[in-house]
Amino acid sequence: MSMPNAERRKQLEGRALIIAMGGNLFMGGAGILAGILSNSNAIMMDGLYSLVGFGSAFLGRRISLKIDAGPDKRRPFGYAADEAIFSTFRSLSLLGLVLFAISNATKNIYSYYNGMMPEPLIFGPMFIYFAAIGLTCVLLWAFHYFTWRKTGKASAILRLESKAALFDGLFTAAAAIGLGAIYLFRDGALSAIAPVGDSIIVLFLCVLAIGSYLRDFRGGLGELANATASPELLAAARRALRPAIAEDGGALRDMSVTKQGRTILITVYYNPLRAITAEEVDTLNLRMVRDARRAIDGADVYLMISQYARRWPDEINPYREEA
């Protein structure tokens, strides 16, 4: 499959996010309505999750329109960090929603075992909701996933949206199975927990989901903090730039690779071992950019001419505190 150009990727991403907005708005409204009609916290949680998805898709679309814009006066390093900011706070908002649901479910279970009976579940509206929302989640996941593949797997926004649609679908399916079991066995094997079965299902699903969102949140924070990218990216960058360095004849002092969203920034600390003009530096830098982009989609190269690595030696380090 050929890699689409930046304009085509932007069109695919924008279309997917518009569909995500519509799908999540429908699921959010349906979830809140069905939750009220059925007295189900699990369904209400599903609806709130979808409303967060609507807000995220709206913000994600705005970000995607400028993500490929280069540096300007307002953003001297470009707009690549916006995608990392989006991914981080999307994960944080979902973590907040999951923690709220856990606390609410725990409170309901505690109140029940202290003698406070919750409102009985009304199962009629649930089955229509589960069928409609389950199908919508599957369609949204498939559309986001295959659009993400069409973009060369470069969009963190689409990757997160596909993961969110998949989890929403799994949440809906698990809630349907759990509430269906409670409906069938509410006067038998599950009679002791039937009144709070809805809260138990919410608690179980949230505990399963929280690890994934914590990983996404930590990953986003790492990108925002300019933490070193994965060893695989570092090795790919070294392989890609090795020919240009060898042909120029200088010495590579150091190399760092960081990732922000879909942008991979390679910083090369290079000693040419000879007098060199600005034109020669630019020519070498452009050669490195071309070589890097053949190996790593979205790569950029900053060429730093220096006899030192990324850190000044201690004897000349201007940031070192004087004893």
Asked whether residue 212 is domain-assigned, the answer is yes
CB neighbourhood size of 139 (10 A): 14
**Per mean pLDDT, which range of 68-82, 273-287, 303-317 is the poorest?**
68-82
Provide the 10 A C-beta neighbour count for residue 207: 12
**65 and 134 housed in the same domain:** yes
Q: Is residue 1 part of a domain?
A: no
Q: Report if residue 318 sits inside a domain.
A: no
CATH number at residue 287: 3.30.70.1350
Residue 230 corresponds to which tokens in the numbers above? 């994965």
Q: How far apart are CA 158 and CA 164, in angstroms?
A: 10
Check whether residue 57 and residue 142 sit in a common domain.
Answer: yes
| pLDDT tens readout for residues 141-183 | 888 888 888 777 767 667 777 877 887 787 778 778 777 777 7
Q: 98 and 59, same structural domain?
A: yes
User: In the structure encoding, which two tokens stand for residue 231, read together?
Assistant: 């060893």
In a domain, 189, yes or no: yes
99/240 same-domain check: no
Are 118 and 261 in a shared domain?
Answer: no
In terms of Cα–Cα distance, which of 91, 107, 66, 113 is closest to 163? 91
Last residue of a domain, one of 198, 224, 250: 224
Whether 186 and 58 share a structural domain: yes
Secondary structure E strands in the chain = 251-260, 263-271, 299-305
The answer on 297 and 184 residing in a single domain is no
Do 272 and 125 reside in the same domain of the chain?
no
- The amino acid occupying position 138 is V
User: Residue 250 — pLDDT band, cuts 50, 70, 90?
Assistant: very high
pLDDT digits (tens, 9 = 90+) for 277-298: 999 999 999 999 999 998 887 7
- Is pLDDT at 323 greater than 50 in this prediction? no
Domain tally for the chain?
2
Task: Print the domain residue range for 273.
Answer: 231-305
- Whole-number pLDDT of residue 307: 92
- Does residue 80 register a pLDDT over 80? no
Final residue of a structural domain among 224, 245, 272: 224
pLDDT digits (tens, 9 = 90+) for 218-235: 888 888 888 888 899 999
As a whole number of angstroms, the distance between CA 270 and CA 303 comes to 7
Confirm if 288 and 241 have CB atoms less than 8 A apart.
Answer: yes
Same domain, 134 and 249: no
290 inside domain: yes
Asked whether the beta carbons of 172 and 134 are under 8 A apart, the reply is: yes
CA-based end-to-end distance of the chain: 60
Do 37 and 121 share a domain, yes or no? yes
Q: Is 321 a domain residue?
A: no
Q: Strands 299-305 and 263-271, how do they pair?
A: parallel
User: Domain boundary residue among 157, 191, 224?
Assistant: 224
Instruction: Report CA Rg, the chain.
Output: 26
Question: DSSP assignment, residue 266?
Answer: E
Q: Is residue 316 part of a domain?
A: no
pLDDT tens sequence across 122-134: 877 888 888 888 8
Contact of 271 with 307, CB cutoff 8 Å: yes
C-alpha 106 chain-centroid distance = 28
